[in-house]
Amino acid sequence: MNGQVRTNSLFGVLVVFCLMVGMAPAQTTETLRIGLQTTGTFAWQLDVIRRHGLAKRAGLDLKISEFASPDAGKLAINGGSVDIAVVDLLWVARARALGAKLLFYPYSSAVGAIMVRSDSPLRKLEDLKGRVLGVAGGPLDKSWLTIQAAAIRQGIDLKKSTTLQYGAPPLIAQKLKQGEAEASLNFWNFCAALEAQGYRRLFEVRDAEAILGAKEPVAMIGYVFSESFAAAHRSAIDRFIAITQQANDIMLRSDQEWDALRPLMNAEDDKTFKAYRDRTREGMPRRPVTAEAVDASALFHTLATIGGPDLVGPSHELDQSLYYQPAQRGD
Q: Which residue has the higher pLDDT, 83 or 153?
A: 83
Q: How far is CA 310 from CA 51, 102, 139, 158, 322, in A?
A: 41, 19, 11, 20, 19
Average pLDDT over residues 321-328: 89
Condensed to tens digits (0 to 9), the pLDDT of residues 267-284 reads 989 999 999 999 999 999
- The pLDDT score that the predictor gives to residue 200 is 96
Average pLDDT over residues 19-36: 69
Residue 12: pLDDT band (50, 70, 90) is very low
Lowest mean pLDDT among 85-99, 129-143, 168-182, 308-322: 308-322
CB-based contacts of 126, cutoff 8 Å, min separation 6: 154, 156
**Cα gap 87→181, rounded to integer Å:** 29
C-alpha triplet 161, 118, 133: angle, nearest 5°? 25
Strand partners, 88: 221
Q: Please check the confidence at residue 21 and state whether its pLDDT lies above 50.
A: no
Most confident of 115-119, 302-306, 312-316: 115-119
Q: Please check the confidence at residue 225 and state whether its pLDDT lies above 80.
A: yes
Q: Which of 186, 206, 217, 196 is nearest to 287 (CA)?
A: 217
Q: Please check the confidence at residue 320 and state whether its pLDDT lies above 50.
A: yes
Residue 316: pLDDT band (50, 70, 90) is confident
H, E, C per residue of the chain: CHHHHHHHHHHHHHHHHHHHHHHCCCCCCEEEEEEEECCCCHHHHHHHHHHCCHHHHCCEEEEEEEECCHHHHHHHHHHCCCCEEEEEHHHHHHHHHCCCCEEEEEEECCCCEEEECCCCCCCCHHHHCCCEEEEECCCCCHHHHHHHHHHHHCCCCHHHHCEEEEECHHHHHHHHHCCCCCEEEECHHHHHHHHHCCCEEEEEHHHHHHHCCCCCCCCCEEEEEEHHHHHHCHHHHHHHHHHHHHHHHHHHHCHHHHHHHHHHHCCCCHHHHHHHHHHHHHCCCCCCHHHHHHHHHHHHHHHHHHHCHHHHCCCCCCCHHHECCCCCCCC
Q: Do 39 and 169 contact (CB within 8 A), yes or no?
A: no
Strand partners, 328: none
Condensed to tens digits (0 to 9), the pLDDT of residues 55-82 reads 999 999 999 999 988 888 899 999 999 9
- The pLDDT score that the predictor gives to residue 27 is 56
- The pLDDT score that the predictor gives to residue 223 is 98
- The pLDDT score that the predictor gives to residue 26 is 45
Average pLDDT over residues 151-174: 95
Q: Rounded to two decimals, what is the model's pTM?
A: 0.85
Q: Which residue has the higher pLDDT, 1 or 299?
A: 299
- The pLDDT score that the predictor gives to residue 328 is 57
Q: Please check the confidence at residue 14 and state whether its pLDDT lies above 70.
A: no
Paired sense of beta strands 200-204 and 30-37, if any: unpaired
Average pLDDT over residues 31-60: 95
Average pLDDT over residues 21-38: 74
Residue 307: pLDDT band (50, 70, 90) is confident
Q: Please check the confidence at residue 108 and state whether its pLDDT lies above 50.
A: yes
